[in-house]
Amino acid sequence: MPQEKGWKSLSRGGVILEPGNARDYETGSWRTFKPVVDREKCINCMFCWIFCPESAVIVKDDKMEGFNLKYCKGCGICAKECPKKAIEMAKD
């Protein structure tokens, strides 16, 4: 995360001028528990992908492929919402 800018270098009124720079803020550092998916149980319904507040569920070719741990903050919403109980939260 780019930090330590002084007040003189901040944009006027704290306006963010660079779109998409939330990417620079790696919320994965907040995590205590990480989601672990059981591929046997997963039906690729994408509930986890829809509910993830950090867009940290990786999807490729219509298949749920796991989690981007740079951004997964371990909130456990995916595990809670999974209709097949295919996601478990494990101590990171």
The encoded tokens of residue 78 equal: 């995916």
Segment lying near another protein (by CB under 8 A), choices 4-12, 29-37, 47-55, 74-82: 4-12
Which residue from 25, 38, 39 is spatially nearest to 70, judged by alpha carbons?
25
10 touching another protein, by CB under 8 A: yes
15 touching another protein, by CB under 8 A: yes
19 touching another protein, by CB under 8 A: yes
Q: How far is the CB of 30 from another protein (least distance, A)?
A: 13
91 touching another protein, by CB under 8 A: no
* Separation CA 48–CA 53 (nearest Å): 10
Query: Which bin fits 85, alpha (ψ -120 to 50), beta or left (φ > 0)?
Result: left
Residue number, 10 or 50, with CB nearest to another protein: 10
Q: Name the 3-class secondary structure at 76.
A: coil
Residues at the contact surface with another protein, assessed by CB under 8 A: 3, 5-7, 10, 12-17, 19
